[in-house]
Chain A
Amino acid sequence: MTSETIAVAMSGGVDSSTVAAMLRAEGHNVIGLTMQLWNQRRLAGREGMPESVQGRCCSLDDVYDARRVAQQIGIPYYVVNHEERFERDVVRPFVEEYLSGRTPIPCSLCNNHLKFDQLLIVARQIGADRIATGHYARVGYDKARGRWLLKRPADLSKDQTYFLFGLTQDQLSRTLFPLGDMTKPEVRELARKHGLALAEKPDSQEICFVPGGDYKRFIDAYLAEQGESLPDTAGELVTTGGEVLGEHAGIHSFTVGQRKGLGVATGSPLYVIQISGANKQVVVGGEEHLYSRTLRARRVNMISVANLGEPMRVAVKIRHRHEPAPATIEKMKIEKTNVESAKIEGTKIEGSGNDEILVTFDQPQRAITPGQAAVFYDGDIVVGGGWIA
């Protein structure tokens, strides 16, 4: 293997630390980079947020861990500050999506706008040819197709391709996922072999900037800090038949498929079927109403093909913990005046932009949730993906 200069995105966790150690052991010229994305102390103690936060992404502890690994394996290491971009491209949209009645995925936005955009730019500016991360995914060039392909990893239980569907061909061509062929236990074993003290460090699960996972409290605290009042998103709780059951305190407290905390007592269990941002209605109904055969995916990014010409048979994953379900995808004709996509375009569009794709499942799927991603698979290959409208 020839040696090249590779920047490793180091979070201070086991996966990216092991990547750095592996590449270093292979003789590459490795540079460790940690993105400082969010000041965890910023909202501490505000609106009931925890006073102290520990061991989360961007905490001083994680930077400390990443730096110690870099020192141990003998690579230069730097922290780069992207807090401003993170707030603009990830935190703000996260808050706005909830307030519009959708359920966002900040990790995908962070991958598209920060890790594989800003950090890749810095990496190239400082002389690295490629960037490596600790994601569980595989990437490679397919000569026959003339495309860079994103593929599911060997360890499907750790598959992170769902969060990576927005990567462009240019980004994929400059990315390495060295853990793609390994299982998590193998990664920990390798970390131990390299003598990394954090080999047993627990995985992070929650959204990095929402300590404790209470996103409602986070939204309250963030808006209070910004001097903005929480918009009034209270409205009616109605049944699928249109019957008004009562009032709810705000659409951002709900997510499609939710059963608990609806504040109404009826004979049969009720679920959130739909959240309407326009008229602030939360529609509830029986479980049978949760199932739907179609969805529209917006702001689509195609990976294995440049464009979707003919309808295509794929498997579609509609949330992180969802088994991809057989479906047909086809391009939709859309009006150019789509306000939503125009607004997002102002920042940066992932992929080809205004395309919309209609997904028709063979079997109805439970709780298709606007704001989440629909990612299309052909076996292990990620065909593309978009955001559920």
Chain B
Amino acid sequence: MRRVYLDNNATTPLLPEVFEAMRPYFGERFGNASSIHHHGQETRAAVESARESVAVLLGCRAAEIVFTSGGTEADNLAISGLAKGGDHVITSSVEHHAVLHACKHLEEIGCEVTYVPVDGRGLVDPGDVRRALRPNTKLISIMMANNETGVLQPVEEIGKIAAEAGALFHTDAVQAASKVPTDVGRIGCHALSISGHKMHAPQGVGALYVRKGTRIQPLFYGGRHERSRRAGTENVPGIVALGKAAQLAKEALDRGDDKKMAALRDRLEQGILAQVDEAGVNGEGAPRVPNTTNVHFDHIEGEAIVIALDLKGLAVSTGAACSSGAIEPSHVLVAMGLRADQARASIRFSLGRQTVAEDIDFALALVPETVARLRELSPVYRRAALSS
């Protein structure tokens, strides 16, 4: 069966170049990057050159990059590491659970957390952030791009507000870095999280940018790796892969590949809307990353759409992969004001660097007929049709 993968916000396939770059570090280059001898020097060099590539992608210095096990650890390190009991923290209602649940933990240890809302397009109003400020506001954590809708938050404005207030600013850029130009200087953040497997590196590696001079409390007790910010022997193959993926992402952005991806995404989105009625784009009207579209297909269950499409070879998702099987509709879509049934009827399509025009054709041939079949068999849809 032909299979087309449009769930790249869940994870991306390794690019062949990335795989080639990391391959030696599973074999002959096995050294511990902290060792004094030749083997250690070899892997240390690889780790540091990967750090430089990531720094180039983010517009920072190599020393400001801390490698982690992934985006979740980067978010946790930033939030737990920058705030402590008694501080006030501002975040948004549409953050990834890696941030939201870390903030819940802060509440348990005596922090107060303000969750600013979003509008119908999924956008945070920087004015809300400003109004939420308190004298003891220590940290603002607002994501750069939302994982479910791809909506880009006004992080540069929020960065300015943080700077004026003397608060630290962290942004979860897991879904943004590699898809849109991401420059920590322009954003004005003190910390920024990225994840390898959202940018064609493997699962199990990520990084946190920590601005020079920002004191951060590590999550783990152990050796003095990563300038005492993240204990534990480095995941060398993963780090090498992240470096290569960052380099390739930067080159692609410089070539303007993001615009090509946006054109493919727009063709998918408009093609679906042209063929399916009672559907709409979640986050429409807001700036979005070029690879994501989130569509609500009213009167049916997103879960059934995902299964039906999977059985025909198209991989998409109802939202965050981490929330699969959950009964609650997406907190992101509900925060945007969607009804629970609309939120549950929503499907995320997310493109990757490997996505080609034929994949979009495949999806466009499949989605409208699948939605039609599901609606035909949906008691809710039949009732709605009868009453209208």
Contact = CB atoms under 8 A, between A and B. Distances in A.
A83 interface: yes
Given A36-B325, A83-B327, A125 B378 contact: yes
A31 B310 CA distance: 11
Nearest to A348: B379
B303 A80 contact: yes
Nearest to B375: A125
B307 A122 contact: yes
B327 A121 contact: no
A243 interface: no
23 contacts: A31-B311, A76-B310, A78-B307, A79-B324, A79-B325, A80-B303, A81-B325, A81-B326, A81-B327, A84-B327, A121-B377, A121-B378, A121-B379, A122-B303, A122-B304, A122-B307, A124-B377, A125-B373, A125-B377, A126-B304, A126-B307, A126-B311, A127-B308
Contacts of B324: 79
Contact of A126 (B308, B326, B327, B379): B308
Q: How large is the interface on B (under 10, 10 to 19, 20 to 34, 35 or more residues)?
A: 10 to 19
B44 to A, nearest CB: 41
B367 interface: no
Nearest to A86: B327
A124 B311 CA distance: 13
Interface string A71-102: 00000101111011000000000000000000
B304 A80 contact: yes
A124 B374 CA distance: 8
Interface of A: 31, 36, 39, 76, 78-81, 83-84, 121-122, 124-127
Contacts of B377: 121, 124-125
A58 to B, nearest CB: 11
B374 A125 contact: yes
A-B pairs with lowest CB-CB distance, top 4: A126-B308, A83-B327, A125-B374, A125-B304
Interface in B303-335: 303-304, 307-308, 310-311, 324-327
Nearest to B324: A79
Nearest to A34: B325
A80 B310 CA distance: 14
Contact of A125 (B308, B310, B327): B308
* Residue from B300, B325, B373, B378 whose CB has the most chain A CB atoms within 10 Å: B325
Contacts of B307: 78, 80, 122, 126
A82 to B, nearest CB: 9
A78 B326 CA distance: 13
Nearest to B300: A125
Nearest to B301: A122
Candidate in B300, B307, B310, B326 with the most chain A CB atoms within 10 angstroms? B307
A124 B300 CA distance: 13
Interface of B: 300-301, 303-304, 307-308, 310-311, 324-327, 373-374, 377-379
Contacts of A39: 327
A29 to B, nearest CB: 9
Contacts of A124: 377
A185 to B, nearest CB: 34
Contacts of A36: 325, 327
A126 B326 CA distance: 20
A36 B327 CA distance: 9
A120 B327 CA distance: 19
Contacts of A122: 301, 303-304, 307
A70 to B, nearest CB: 13
A72 to B, nearest CB: 19
Contacts of B303: 80-81, 122
Nearest to B327: A83
A31 B324 CA distance: 18
Nearest to A128: B311
A84 B329 CA distance: 11
A92 to B, nearest CB: 15
Nearest to A5: B311
A157 B118 CA distance: 59
A81 B319 CA distance: 15
A79 B306 CA distance: 11
A4 to B, nearest CB: 14
B316 to A, nearest CB: 14
Contact of B311 (A83, A84, A127): A127
Contacts of A126: 304, 307-308, 311
Interface centre among B311, B378, B379 (most CB of A within 10 A): B311
B142 to A, nearest CB: 30
B302 to A, nearest CB: 11
Contacts of B327: 36, 39, 81, 83-84
Nearest to A120: B377
A115 to B, nearest CB: 16
Contacts of A125: 300, 304, 308, 373-374, 377-378
A226 to B, nearest CB: 16
Contacts of A121: 377-379
A61 to B, nearest CB: 15
A76 B3 CA distance: 14
A124 B307 CA distance: 11
Contacts of B304: 80, 122, 125-126
B149 to A, nearest CB: 21
A45 to B, nearest CB: 18
Nearest to B309: A126
A218 to B, nearest CB: 19
Nearest to B312: A127
Contacts of A127: 308, 311, 373
Given A39-B327, A84-B327, 20 more contacts: A78-B310, A79-B324, A79-B325, A80-B307, A81-B303, A81-B325, A81-B326, A121-B377, A121-B378, A121-B379, A122-B303, A122-B304, A122-B307, A125-B373, A125-B374, A125-B378, A126-B304, A126-B308, A127-B311, A127-B373
A15 B71 CA distance: 42
A80 B324 CA distance: 9
A162 to B, nearest CB: 27
Contacts of A31: 311
B86 to A, nearest CB: 30
A6 to B, nearest CB: 13
Contacts of B326: 81
Nearest to A63: B325
